């Protein structure tokens, strides 16, 4: 990208699991990154469009963290228009691999992908599997693991968890280098694992007593709602875990190799370098 050294990169969701890493990698490669979110160094709020213009000023490319909220597609459409008006030339959208399987055509995150594809800007779409770092950074996993048990209805289904350092590497490469325009990268780790295997590896690496307990959908829904979550959130997770349980998420994807010409990092690499103090 010709102006990549003279302008900033806007990282939405910049304080989140992926955005934080994308900003770190950009900065470690000498680029200027605007870390944007409601609590970020650059204030950016999807629900407050007055924050968009200042965030988009002097920005050449944007990392866009999507949302599961179907109404978000209108915000993303307006944001993409604003980005083009501010001279942004390139977008890298965080989507999810699962949505292609679950899409019912009624305004899902895939609609956000379509907005980005139709933007007239250069675009790259990232479709990751479940993140390895969920076990230490995703409240819905961390909270139960601090009590020793992850109780979810994923059965013996397998998931090739992607390492977020790989995702950030792909995102930054797509933001800063040519050759990724119009590409949709499905990003996974190299090994499909059951939740039992993943939790056992974390238990071994962290020296903690942790176990995975496969529960029924009804048990999970009841426990999640009793824990203070809405029925809507519980139902979304039930559907996501069913997708894994039914073996529909077990395929390994090639996106890390396609984008970076190297293999993705194994789950054991994540457990070897992770600080597990968050698990108590």
Ligand X SMILES: NC(=O)c1ccc[n+]([C@@H]2O[C@H](COP(=O)([O-])OP(=O)(O)OC[C@H]3O[C@@H](n4cnc5c(N)ncnc54)[C@H](OP(=O)(O)O)[C@@H]3O)[C@@H](O)[C@H]2O)c1
- In the complex, the residues that contact ligand X under the rule CB under 6 A are 13-19, 37-40, 44-47, 65-68, 94, 96, 128, 130-131, 134, 138
Exposure string of 47-79, with b = 16+ CB inside 10 Å and e = fewer, is eeeebbeebbeebbbbbbbbbeeeebbebbbeb
Q: Closest CB to ligand X among 144 and 207?
A: 144
Q: Closest CB to ligand X among 47 and 71?
A: 47
Q: Min. distance of Cβ 2 from ligand X in angstroms?
A: 28
Q: Closest CB to ligand X among 13 and 214?
A: 13
**What three-state secondary structure class fits 236?**
helix
Q: In terms of residues, how long is the chain?
A: 280
Quote the CA–CA distance of 188 and 256 in Å, as a whole number: 7
Quote the CA–CA distance of 46 and 232 in Å, as a whole number: 21
Q: Closest CB to ligand X among 2 and 47?
A: 47
Q: Which residue is nearest to ligand X (CB)?
A: 16
Q: Min. distance of Cβ 190 from ligand X in angstroms?
A: 17
**How many CA within 13 A on the CB side of residue 82?**
17
Q: Min. distance of Cβ 99 from ligand X in angstroms?
A: 8
Q: Min. distance of Cβ 5 from ligand X in angstroms?
A: 25
């Amino acid at each position: 990208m010709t102006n990549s050294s003279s302008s900033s990169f806007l990282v939405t969701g910049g304080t989140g699991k992926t955005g934080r890493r994308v900003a770190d990698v950009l900065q470690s490669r000498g680029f200027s990154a605007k870390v944007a979110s409601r609590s970020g160094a650059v204030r950016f709020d999807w629900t407050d469009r007055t924050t968009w213009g200042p965030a988009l000023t002097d920005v050449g490319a944007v990392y866009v963290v999507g949302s599961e909220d179907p109404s978000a597609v209108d915000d993303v459409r307006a944001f993409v228009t604003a980005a083009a008006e501010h001279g942004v030339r390139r977008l890298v959208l965080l989507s999810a691999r699962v949505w292609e399987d679950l899409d019912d055509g009624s305004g899902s995150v895939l609609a956000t992908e379509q907005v980005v594809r139709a933007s007239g800007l250069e675009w790259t779409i990232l479709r990751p599997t479940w993140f390895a770092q969920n076990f230490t950074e995703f409240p819905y996993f961390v909270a139960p693991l601090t009590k020793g048990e992850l109780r979810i209805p994923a059965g013996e289904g397998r998931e090739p968890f992607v390492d977020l350092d790989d995702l950030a590497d792909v995102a930054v490469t797509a933001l800063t280098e040519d050759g990724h325009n119009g590409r949709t990268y499905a990003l996974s780790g190299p090994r499909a694992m059951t939740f039992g295997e993943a939790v056992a590896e974390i238990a071994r690496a962290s020296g903690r007593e942790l176990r995975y307990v496969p529960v029924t959908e009804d048990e999970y829904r009841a426990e999640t709602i009793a824990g203070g979550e809405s029925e809507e959130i519980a139902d979304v997770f039930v559907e996501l875990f069913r997708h894994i349980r039914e073996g529909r998420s077990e395929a390994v994807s090639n996106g890390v190799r396609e984008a970076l010409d190297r293999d993705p990092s194994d789950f054991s690499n994540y457990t070897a370098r992770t600080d597990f103090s968050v698990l108590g």
